[in-house]
Amino acid sequence: MLIAIPKVLDAAQLNALRQLLDQAGPAWVDGRVTAGYQGAAVKFNQQIDERSAVALQCQQIVLEALERHPRFISAALPNTLYPPMFNRYGEGMNFGAHVDGSVRIHPHSGRKLRTDISATLFLSESSSYDGGELQIEDSYGTHSVKLEAGDMVIYPATSLHQVTPITRGTRTACFFWVQSLVRDDGQRSTLFDMDNAIQKLNQTNADETARRSLIGCYHNLMRQWSET
């Protein structure tokens, strides 16, 4: 399930992040420092040292925004989030086709986190760079994603994906992974569709008994499918 989530960050949050990242200096390191065996051979970008002070400041801005975004909560059903990371691609940089690692070690707690969902939050205006599309492959083909600053895309971490070469400008983004309450992507998709239907029925004051029944079905499925 590939889902675009608009306006995760507002103008003030974007401005604060950009200022922090623009002034990060030596906190920018070779992106391969956190790449696995597969990714290291095809990863050519820079990223913020995830243990640096600037990383912690930027993480806090993103996490506070995500906690208040209903579409993200509905689509991802987050259990645990890997602390948001930040990368940039200059001209000629890219990240070749790869699948994200299935398990990551939380840098602060040391606990293992299963990567059910991958997320990319765009921080650069789409008109400020050429190339740099996030290309995601699924059973329906290849999807090319290039969103406006402040918008985010989430997709199954099992997907083969890549970032195409930058030919002009700089692409800066935030990325992270989610261990969902519901491991199966198909089940998450069903719950997301049900939640959207419930919200629309609530807005139209549809039959209360039918709405109550649908809400009950949603929560009963959550009980069956969720992991706590």
Residue 37: pLDDT over 90: no
Looking at the predicted structure, is the pLDDT value of residue 39 above 70? Answer: no
Q: Does 10 or 1 have the greater pLDDT score?
A: 10
> Using CB atoms within 10 A of its CB, is residue 134 exposed (0-12), middle (13-18) or buried (19+)?
buried
Contacts of 128 (CB under 8 A, 6+ apart): 169, 170
pLDDT on residue 64? 97
The per-residue pLDDT for 36 is: 66
The whole-number average pLDDT for the span 38-48 is: 86
pLDDT of residue 38 exceeding 80: no
Task: State if pTM tops 0.85.
Answer: yes
**Choice among 35-39, 43-47, 213-217 with the minimum mean pLDDT:** 35-39
172 and 123 Cβ atoms separated by less than 8 Å:
yes
Which homologous superfamily does the CATH classification assign to the domain defined by 3-180? q2cbj1_9rhob like domain (2.60.120.620)
Q: What is the pLDDT of residue 41?
A: 82
pLDDT of residue 206: 85
Class of 185-225 per CATH? few secondary structures
Going by C-alpha positions, the residue among 175, 158, 91 that lies closest to residue 128 is 91
> How high is the mean pLDDT of the chain?
95
Residue 205 has a pLDDT of 83
pLDDT tens, residue by residue, 58-83: 999 999 999 999 999 999 999 999 99
Residue 28: pLDDT band by 50, 70, 90 thresholds?
very high
Looking at the chain, the domain(s) classified CATH 4.10.860.20 span 185-225
Q: What is the mean pLDDT of residues 25-45?
A: 84
Residue span(s) of the chain under CATH 2.60.120.620 come to 3-180
Residue count (the chain): 228
Note the pLDDT tens digit of each residue in 126-154. Answer: 999 999 999 999 988 999 999 999 999 99
The DSSP call for residue 227 is -
Residue 117: predicted pLDDT: 98
CA distance 41 to 64: 34
- CA–CA separation, 137 vs 139, rounded Å? 7
Q: Quick check: 40 pLDDT over 90?
A: no
- Lowest mean pLDDT of 58-67, 113-122, 197-206, name the range: 197-206
